Amino acid sequence: MENEEIIHAIAAVFSGADERNWEKVQHAMAENVLLDYSSLSGNAAATLSSKQIIETWKGFLPGFDRTHHQLSNFQVTQHGNTATIHCNGKANHFIDKDVWTVEGTYDAEASKTNGQWLVTKLKFNLAKQSGNTNLPARAIENIKSN
């Protein structure tokens, strides 16, 4: 039961992002989250507020026509009110008929606060990219022109 709640929290971050349901994303994250997408972006890991993460994502993800994140092969290790999660991740990002796909794994952590599991760490480990790797720049341009 606990493992399902932990998996639900991490899945809600990504399904909320795909739905552009920022409230859903925020409710799945702790107040502060260690975010590490350095393997993809080259930017150093940083502890950010969930609001800062959402603002960053709002400035990027809506530039795509749609996105679809898929998580699988969850490995959850619980230690009382904390948990580590490892899973596979694949994200498709679409603009018109073009797609940019990013694949890798996530190392995440969650903690139970007031009876609810919240994501406290999200580290993406890039394995490969495929498709149109120019789409991120196009997404940013789409945001700027709206």
DSSP 64: S
Which pLDDT does position 118 carry in this prediction? 98
Which pLDDT does position 16 carry in this prediction? 98
Q: Identify whether 145 is part of a domain.
A: no
**Whether pLDDT at 30 is above 80:** yes
Which pLDDT does position 145 carry in this prediction? 86
**Whether pLDDT at 1 is above 90:** no
Parent domain of 119 = 2-139
Helical ranges in 1-134 per DSSP H: 2-19, 22-28, 38-41, 50-58
Whole-angstrom distance, CA of residue 72 vs CA of residue 70: 7
Q: Identify whether 40 is part of a domain.
A: yes
> Mind listing the pLDDT tens digit for each residue in 111-121?
999 999 999 99
Range 134-142 average pLDDT? 95
The pair of three-digit structure tokens given for residue 105, joined into one six-digit string: 């794994």
Phi, psi of 138 (to 5 degrees): -65, -40
Which pLDDT does position 34 carry in this prediction? 98
Q: What is the mean pLDDT of the chain?
A: 96
Q: Identify whether 45 is part of a domain.
A: yes
For the chain, the domain total comes to: 1
Give 126's pLDDT tier (boundaries 50, 70, 90): very high
**CATH code, domain with 105:** 3.10.450.50
Which pLDDT does position 55 carry in this prediction? 95
Q: Identify whether 146 is part of a domain.
A: no
Q: What is the pTM of this model?
A: 0.94
